[in-house]
Amino acid sequence: MKPMTKKDENAVSPVVGVMLMLVVTIIIAAVVSGFAGGLAGGTSKSAQVSIKADYSRSTGMIIHHMGGDVINTLQTKIFVAPTADFGSYDQLRWEVNTSVVNITKESGVKPWFDPTLSSSNDARTFQPGETAVVNVDHIGEVQPKTYTTSSDDSTSSYYGFNHDNALGQRFILSLVDNAGRTIAQTEVQIKP
């Protein structure tokens, strides 16, 4: 009878260990890739837009859509805030009355968003190449205290955009979506 020989199985254990480490590494890479690619989360991407604005106390305010995504005006608000040019008032912020912001469309001039009108009468979109205008008669509603009274913040000697002390100073104009994300922002100099 032949004696039993023991097989050498020392090499099997390291090979299995390396294979397991490789599988774990691939699984981790797939999970990280899924999160980075948005597969695991349901978050939506905010619009990416480039804007420029001009503000003149004698002619009004114009916002130029320089390029990027189309903005849904029904779901986008416009805010203004003084810069440090105004001193310690740079923490203030006002929501612009969008019913006085007009966009020229093929179908005519339409407001950015006017809650008193049906949405079909609003501009609905702000597209690359278009301009949004606040005429000089409504310039006080760019920086309003309230939309329902004639008093506004635009003539305050401390932070009012329409006060003589404000000439040459700057403010920040921001477009913000309903989720509170800033879509676009630009610095605007106050001109006569």
- Please write the tens of the pLDDT for every residue from 88-108: 888 899 999 999 999 999 888
Residue 107's Cα: distance from chain center in Å? 27
Q: Quick check: 80 and 173 in contact, CB under 8 A?
A: yes
- The pLDDT of residue 42 is 57
- The pLDDT of residue 20 is 86
Topology of the domain covering 49-191: Immunoglobulin-like (2.60.40)
- The pLDDT of residue 189 is 97
pTM over 0.85: no
Per the structure block, which two tokens stand in for 4? 């039993």
Q: How many Å from the N-terminal Cα to the C-terminal Cα in the chain?
A: 113
For the chain, the structural domain boundaries read 12-43, 49-191
Average pLDDT over residues 125-144: 94
pLDDT at 12 > cutoff 80? no
Range in 31-40, 70-79, 134-143 with the lowest mean pLDDT: 31-40
